[in-house]
Amino acid sequence: MRTVLQGGRVFDGSGADPADADVALENGRIVEIGSSLDGDEVVDCAGSTIVPGFVDSHVHFMADGNLDPAVFQATPFSLNFYLAAERMGRTLASGVTTVREAGGADLGMKEAQTRGVVAGPEMLISITLLSQTGGHGDHWMACGEAVPSFSIPHPGRPTGIVDGPDEMRVKVRELIRAGADVIKVCTSGGVLSPRDDPRHGHFRDDELDVLVTEATAAGKWVMSHAQATDGIKSAVRAGIRSIEHGIYLDDEAIEMMVDRGTYLVPTLIAPMGVLEAADRGVNVPQYAIDKTHQVMEAHRDSISRAIDAGVKVAMGTDSGVIPHGQNLREVHEMVRCGMTPAQALAASTSVAAELLDVLDDRGTIEVGKRADLVVLTGDPFDTATLGDQVGAVFQSGHQVAGAVTIGA
């Protein structure tokens, strides 16, 4: 079957302005782009804009804005996987067709999507985040027990607490054995973790060097939760591919990222999600609320300066901190930090696909690429309303969400 998205405009993901064109799909691929194209099935896209499927570089499907530790404590372990399946479908319906799962999802969840058991974005998984003792992934409390979180260890998800180069080498190999596509490490403290400070760098250079060496040997990239200035610089020096959050960027860190081509994944809506959860009555721990207020101004200032300096920025939301399905809010927040709408859309498609090393397969609208596409019913440069514009979502050429009717 040859399907044609007809009569609309095309934003190809490169950052160029939209242009009138039809897009023909066959066998899950884009086979032709032009005018007056014919097909066995036709989608009337008059007045709409066709964009590449969005790529979210940072999500957590095992959480959903439920930031009260008591929620995790009261949730049966296996129920989390059923809840995650619904969140995956919600994310796909929002127009996100590919994600990098930044901690929580295991190989079984990825396989469920790949085999078509559940609907959701295609996933690159990190399984769990690597943290030093007392770091962002360590939920130990003063009572002597750990607060339950979305990453409880099980046979497919090893514990992520690691100290020293030798332990790091073993842990990276464990994660690769478990099916990790990418390795995630925390080179600083964070906001939602109880016993650390987002201004403090974590792990030493020898530990990070071993991490990157082992990941590279297995053909894997590394992503770093890095909020502290020192933690950001340590990650960049070690050759880590992307900085997640980047809250306390100084001029030297920005220059290092530009020089080395390190990507920045801002996750601007994540701190917003913490305060929004508290506003809607979620029992968010006070330490998380306090640290969110501490970082928000610095976060936006850092991202704005990085954008202005030319750091490569890829969209990532940290969804899970904020409820899933609101992913496209991040596009508007990048615009508020200084990107043009075209740049923010490119960051959410082609640049994010480049970060995930899948740009040869998706992320732009080109002949031969996978037909992951979104039909937007409004102006794509009106980023404040982007989430409300999703009329249809296509994944590998199949309509998987949306109300647009296919007619002969």
Determine the Cα–Cα distance for residues 270 and 317; give it in Å rounded to an integer: 6
Determine the Cα–Cα distance for residues 112 and 125; give it in Å rounded to an integer: 13
Of 47, 41, 59, the C-alpha closest to 100 is 59
Of 220, 246, 214, the C-alpha closest to 233 is 246
How many domains are there within the chain? 2
Q: Are residues 58 and 46 in the same domain?
A: no
Quote the strand ranges of 239-343, DSSP E: 242-245, 263-265, 312-313
Q: Are residues 257 and 397 in the same domain?
A: no
Pairing type for strands 373-376 and 390-395 reads antiparallel
Of 152, 153, 151, the C-alpha closest to 102 is 151
Determine the Cα–Cα distance for residues 209 and 234; give it in Å rounded to an integer: 10
Residue 401: how many other CB atoms lie within 10 Å: 21
CATH code for the domain in which residue 38 is found? 2.30.40.10
Residue 35: how many other CB atoms lie within 10 Å: 9
Q: Do residues 267 and 316 lie in contact, with contact meaning Cβ atoms separated by under 8 Å?
A: yes
Main-chain phi, psi angles of 32, to 5 degrees: -160, 145
Helix (H, G, I), strand (E, B) or coil at 297: helix
pLDDT at 405: 54
- Assigned domain for 297 exists: yes
How far lies 58's CA from each of 99, 206, 251, 307, in Å? 7, 26, 25, 18
Residue 177: how many other CB atoms lie within 10 Å: 10
In sequence order, what are the beta bridge partners of 146?
Answer: 140
Where is the domain boundary, 278, 307, 327?
Answer: 327
Q: Do residues 329 and 72 lie in contact, with contact meaning Cβ atoms separated by under 8 Å?
A: no
Q: Are residues 68 and 128 in the same domain?
A: yes
Q: Which amino acid is at 25?
A: L
pLDDT at 146: 80
Q: Are residues 143 and 171 in the same domain?
A: yes
Q: Are residues 44 and 77 in the same domain?
A: no
- Assigned domain for 334 exists: no
- Assigned domain for 351 exists: no
Token output for 303: 């991202």
Place of tokens 């989430």: 387
Determine the Cα–Cα distance for residues 52 and 361; give it in Å rounded to an integer: 11
Helix (H, G, I), strand (E, B) or coil at 145: coil
How far lies 216's CA from each of 102, 114, 264, 321, in Å? 18, 25, 20, 29
Q: Are residues 396 and 300 in the same domain?
A: no
Q: Are residues 169 and 274 in the same domain?
A: yes
Token output for 257: 């990222």
How far lies 45's CA from each of 21, 388, 395, in Å? 10, 16, 17
| H or E element, residue 338 | none
Domain range for 403 is 2-52+364-407
Q: Are residues 136 and 251 in the same domain?
A: yes
- Assigned domain for 165 exists: yes
CATH code for the domain in which residue 190 is found? 3.20.20.140
pLDDT per residue rounded down to tens, the chain (408 residues): 999 999 999 999 999 999 999 999 999 999 999 999 999 999 999 999 999 999 999 999 999 999 998 998 899 999 999 999 999 999 999 999 999 999 999 999 999 999 999 999 999 999 999 999 999 998 888 888 787 777 789 999 999 999 999 999 999 999 999 999 999 999 999 999 988 999 999 999 999 999 999 999 999 999 999 999 999 999 999 999 999 999 999 999 999 999 999 999 999 999 999 999 999 999 999 999 999 999 999 999 999 999 999 999 999 999 999 999 999 999 999 999 999 999 999 999 999 999 999 999 999 999 999 999 999 999 999 999 999 999 999 999 999 998 655 433
Where is the domain boundary, 327, 350, 375?
Answer: 327
Q: Which amino acid is at 4?
A: V
pLDDT at 140: 84
Determine the Cα–Cα distance for residues 297 and 310; give it in Å rounded to an integer: 20
Q: Are residues 134 and 45 in the same domain?
A: no
Q: Are residues 256 and 150 in the same domain?
A: yes
Determine the Cα–Cα distance for residues 313 and 339; give it in Å rounded to an integer: 10
